[in-house]
Amino acid sequence: MNKNKNIIALELIITYCDRISGIRNSFNSNFDVFKSSHLYIDSIGMNILQIGELTTQFTDDFKLKYTEIPWKAIKQMRNIFVHHYVTLDINKLWNSIIKDIPILYEFCRKTLILLKNQE
């Protein structure tokens, strides 16, 4: 049961990472275009919000086993979108999109394969 909970969360995070990638591709990963469009910022923000929410679905054992991912930082980014949107640091968001989301995507993809093979 706990494995299923982790698998479902991984699958959904992969979906949201894919969406972020698609949005990023629509503005050709151009920071100037990104920062000038609330449509891009809001779209990506909604997906990051969902990813942050999904981190609460992982079991404690899962988070203790996979410490290479900063689960608390992901949740904090979600909280910024929910509670402090007007103070959002676009540069930090950009770094997350360019650096962190691809790492999270690869982690989730590899871990999902591993967990499914253990079933």
What would the pLDDT profile of 3-56 be if each residue is shown by its tens digit? 599 999 999 999 999 999 999 999 999 999 999 998 999 899 899 999 999 999
pTM: 0.90
Compute the distance between CA of residue 102 and CA of residue 108 in angstroms, rounded to an integer. 10
- Kindly name the residue from 19, 38, 78, 84 that is annotated as catalytic: 78
| DSSP letter for each residue of 45-75 | HHHHHHHHHHGGGS-HHHHHH-TTS-HHHHH
Known active-site residue 38:
no
Compute the distance between CA of residue 98 and CA of residue 90 in angstroms, rounded to an integer. 12
Q: Report whether pLDDT(91) > 60.
A: yes
Supply the Cα-derived Rg of the chain in whole angstroms. Answer: 15
Known active-site residue 83:
yes
pLDDT of residue 55: 94
**Mean per-residue pLDDT of the chain:** 90
The mean per-residue pLDDT over the stretch 79-88 comes to 69
- Kindly name the residue from 19, 24, 38, 83 that is annotated as catalytic: 83
CA 87 to chain centre: 20
